[in-house]
Amino acid sequence: MESPQPILKVRDIKVHFPIHKARSWPWEKSPVLKAVDGVSFDLYEGETLGVVGESGCGKSTLARSIIGLVKATEGEILWQDGNIAGLSEKAMRNIRKDIQMIFQDPLASLNPRMTVGDIIAEPLRNYYPELSKDEVLSKVREMMAKVGLLPNVINRYPHEFSGGQCQRIGIARALILKPKLVICDEPVSALDVSIQAQVVNLLKELQQEMGLSLIFIAHDLSVVKHISDRVLVMYLGNEVETAKAEPMYDDPRHPYTKALLSAVPIPDPELEKAKVIELLEGELPSPISPPSGCVFRTRCPIAEASCAQNRPYLMDVGDQHFAACPKA
């Protein structure tokens, strides 16, 4: 029996932004902000990959490079046996039917001058202009029902809805073309906790119903654990650990992952009280001038002098668990 093949392969992707400023000397090089600095992973059909890390670690830039909103500086993004990294806007047009995105701010991602029906129907009109008005309306109403929106709100505008309802509109718009991959860029971070659970459960239901693959980006590790099959941890544009969700949470290997997980609240009051929180010292370094060697060494509690010499890459620590730390 053949093993399943990934639908998406990301290979050593880098996204660097030159910083334009006045130079003291003509030969002086402009500084470069390394937002993503060599990330690789595979994504399989029907799988959810959770991507976690602090603000500024490059999660959203990685997501935008996959969908083509940001051009990758180096590396490959292999989709359906073709490298889509660096493709032109025209070349990416057909690919976007299969790769859609749900954004962090549900209200800001919706056109305030368009009704709910028009917002959800817009992708259909762009990609399937041959559809009649009745066919478009039928598909829009069907998708609204799937995401939990009542049919009588089809002519309302985004400002008339709550944050959770606006995110349902964004989900409907992303799924109306029946994509194969949906990138969720912190889709619940702007919502109340109770609404977060509803949106996450909705995404899981739609994933099973439509056979979707998801890349789910979030700060909240408890949310990521609930929805993800595998987890990728990023720090300062680098991947520091990746594993299946349960092994990652039960036995984190990288010091940064351990610190992140120690900050996750435990529902049991006694266990929460007895828990040891691993605080990170110092501030997040600048991606313009990251530390040499291991980028985490300036905040790492077990760092040694040798950590400044060589950059550690992901090493197999068993059972498809990889960590970028020699002591893992």
Residues whose CB falls within 8 Å of the CB of residue 131, separated by 6 or more in sequence, listed in order = 124, 125, 139
What pLDDT is recorded for position 67?
A: 92
What pLDDT is recorded for position 108?
A: 86
Backbone angles phi, psi at 200, to 5 degrees: -65, -45
Domain boundaries, the chain: 97-215
Residues comprising the chain, all counted: 328
Q: What is the DSSP letter of 278?
A: -
What pLDDT is recorded for position 278?
A: 74
Q: What is the DSSP letter of 113?
A: T
Burial category of 293 from C-beta neighbours within 10 Å (exposed 0-12, middle 13-18, buried 19 and up): middle
Q: At what angle do helices 133-146 and 163-175 cross, to 10 degrees?
A: 130
CB 288 within 8 A of CB 303: no
What pLDDT is recorded for position 48?
A: 96
pLDDT along the chain (328 residues), means of 10: 81 91 67 92 95 91 93 92 86 90 88 95 94 95 95 94 92 95 90 86 94 92 88 95 92 91 73 69 85 92 89 89 88
Q: What is the 3-state secondary structure (H, E, C) of 121-175?
A: HHHHHHHCCCCCHHHHHHHHHHHHHHCCCCHHHCCCCHHHCCHHHHHHHHHHHHH
**What tokens does 254 get?**
């990288």
Backbone angles phi, psi at 201, to 5 degrees: -65, -35
97-215 CATH:
3.40.50.300
CA distance 97 to 92: 9
What pLDDT is recorded for position 161?
A: 92
CB 223 within 8 A of CB 194: no
What pLDDT is recorded for position 191?
A: 82
What pLDDT is recorded for position 25?
A: 64
Q: Can you spell out the DSSP letters for 208-270?
A: HHHT-EEEEE-S-HHHHHHH-SEEEEEETTEEEEEEEHHHHHHS--SHHHHHHHHTS--SSHH
Burial category of 152 from C-beta neighbours within 10 Å (exposed 0-12, middle 13-18, buried 19 and up): exposed
Full-model pTM: 0.91
Rg over CA atoms, the chain = 21
